[in-house]
């Protein structure tokens, strides 16, 4: 094959993939790569420079079709997506040192969503509203059947030393070990199936692959990661309540109880996520938010977590 033919075929491949049209053999549907909202300008500039060494970035140059809005995050997202599409739409081609985010919502049309979550691995985590007693019961049950040594003192996943982190790690270990069926994450109302990786630092939550059972996962909620600190929860609460009405978690409100920080923060984070259109980026919260497929308020008093 001549050099001209090779270049031509590569160009056709890039253009054909540019809109997320091709469905790969691994089953993922339409997906796009964008920059995380928490990315720094330095990271965005690095990503742009990296991509533009290999691909034509004329669309984000002045006068180009994608120049406006003339912001770091827009330009970086455009070229990061160009690279992601050209390289075959695999998770690692949207990594960009963990500053990339794969979305099933076309960034050009915020209401166009391709649901299904075939691409995403899934994890089982504790419901932020679950009581410590429920979490302890889950820990006792799971750790009789799987090896929980990583969450004991000196284990690589011991910190943060909280019930919700330890229970989430153990519940997920059981879920993965049993084959990732929905019933393997059925711990009453104290569990959720997550579409985002809850891993923190050197503590990796096990994952064995994509969701095997296609459920109606178009309904999703945003909660805090089990590893989130109280300081971050407070920051998330303050941020969300500056943008949405947090009346239900004020004293006397339908969602005031349980009157603790994680309940109030999770309620506010989810309300913000729903109001912002349920995009992955609107549950980022500087990498402390996680998207789940089960309503966290199911079975808990009269408080209902909104879904639009």
Instruction: Kindly compute the dihedral angle of the four CA atoms of residues 190, 129, 218, 114, in this order, to the nearest 10 degrees.
Output: -110
Tell me which range, 22-31, 170-179, 235-244, is most confidently predicted by mean pLDDT: 235-244
| Of residues 184 and 120, more confidently modeled | 184
| Whether the predicted pLDDT of 73 surpasses 90 | no
Question: Is residue 84 domain-shared with residue 150, that is, in the same domain?
Answer: no
Rounded distance, CA 14 to CA 81, Å? 11
Give residue 215's pLDDT band: very low, low, confident or very high (50, 70, 90). Answer: very low
> 277 and 162 share a domain?
yes
Torsion angles phi and psi, residue 115, rounded to 5: -85, 175
Tell me: pLDDT of 258 over 70.
Answer: yes
Q: Place 218 in a pLDDT band, splitting at 50, 70 and 90.
A: low
Same domain, 50 and 145: no
**pLDDT of residue 10 exceeding 80:** no
Give the domain extent around 163.
Answer: 123-292
* Global confidence as pTM: 0.47
Are 81 and 223 in the same domain? no
Does one domain contain both 179 and 233?
yes
Residues 187 and 80 in one domain: no
In a shared domain, residues 142 and 240: yes
Mean pLDDT of 128-148: 87
Model confidence at 224, pLDDT cuts 50, 70, 90, reads very high
The torsion angles phi and psi of 283, rounded to 5 degrees, stand at -115, 25
Residue (of 37, 11, 20) closest to 89 by Cα position: 20
């Amino acid at each position: 094959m001549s050099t001209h033919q090779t270049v031509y075929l590569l160009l056709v491949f890039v253009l054909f993939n540019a809109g997320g049209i091709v469905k790969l053999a691994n089953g993922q549907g339409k997906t796009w790569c964008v920059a995380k909202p928490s990315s720094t300008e330095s990271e965005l500039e690095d990503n742009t420079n990296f991509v533009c060494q290999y691909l034509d970035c004329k669309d984000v140059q002045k006068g180009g079709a994608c120049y406006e809005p003339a912001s770091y995050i827009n330009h970086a997202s455009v070229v990061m997506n160009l690279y992601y599409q050209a390289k075959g739409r695999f998770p690692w081609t949207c990594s960009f040192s963990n500053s990339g985010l794969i979305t099933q919502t076309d960034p050009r049309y915020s209401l166009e969503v391709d649901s299904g979550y075939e691409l995403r691995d899934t994890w089982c985590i504790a419901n932020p509203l679950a009581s410590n007693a429920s979490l302890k019961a889950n820990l006792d049950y799971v750790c009789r059947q799987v090896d929980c040594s990583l969450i004991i003192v000196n284990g690589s996943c011991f910190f943060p030393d909280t019930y919700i982190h330890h229970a989430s790690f153990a519940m997920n270990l059981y879920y993965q070990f049993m084959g990732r069926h929905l019933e393997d994450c059925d711990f009453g109302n104290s569990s959720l199936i997550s579409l985002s990786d809850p891993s923190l630092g050197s503590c990796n939550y096990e994952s064995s692959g994509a969701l095997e059972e296609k459920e109606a996962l178009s309904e999703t909620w945003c909660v805090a990661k089990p590893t989130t600190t109280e300081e971050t929860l407070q920051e998330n609460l303050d941020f969300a309540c500056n943008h949405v009405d947090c009346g239900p978690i004020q004293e006397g409100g339908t969602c005031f109880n349980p009157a603790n920080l994680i309940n109030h923060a999770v309620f506010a984070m989810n309300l913000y996520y729903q109001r912002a259109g349920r995009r992955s980026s609107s549950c980022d919260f500087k990498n402390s938010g996680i998207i789940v497929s089960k309503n966290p308020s199911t079975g808990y008093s009269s408080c209902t977590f909104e879904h639009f």
